[in-house]
């Protein structure tokens, strides 16, 4: 995905160690891992929700609000 090799990872780790410090680095890593996992779960849930067909009662409600009926569909075909 990002094509990051070992030298780049070592550089990122050293910079993080200098900026954050050795005491807070493990805590920061756990928080980052939890955030990435949460984001991944949310994107999977969103993808599944978008792929599902809406229930019939919601479809009917949208048709009514838009003034669309099955008869309009038959006459335009």
13 domain residue, yes or no: yes
pLDDT value of position 71: 60
55 domain residue, yes or no: yes
How far, CA to CA in Å, does 55 sit from each of 11, 48, 64? 51, 14, 15
Structural domain count of the chain:
1
32 domain residue, yes or no: yes
Backbone angles phi, psi at 4, to 5 degrees: -100, 125
Average confidence (pLDDT) over 6-26? 89
Q: Are 17 and 25 in contact (CB under 8 A)?
A: yes
1 domain residue, yes or no: no
- This prediction has a pTM of 0.55
15 domain residue, yes or no: yes
Give the pLDDT confidence of 25-74 residue by residue, as tens digits. Answer: 899 889 999 999 999 999 999 999 888 888 888 889 988 999 887 665 55
Pairwise pLDDT comparison (76 vs 13), residue with the higher score: 13
Host domain of residue 33: 6-76
């Amino acid at each position: 995905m990002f094509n990051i090799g070992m030298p780049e990872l070592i550089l990122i780790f050293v910079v993080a160690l200098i900026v954050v410090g050795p005491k807070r680095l493990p805590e920061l890593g756990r928080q980052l891992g939890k955030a990435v996992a949460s984001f991944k779960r949310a994107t999977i849930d969103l993808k599944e929700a978008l792929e599902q067909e809406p229930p019939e009662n919601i479809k009917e409600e949208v048709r009514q609000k838009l003034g669309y009926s099955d008869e309009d569909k038959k006459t335009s075909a």
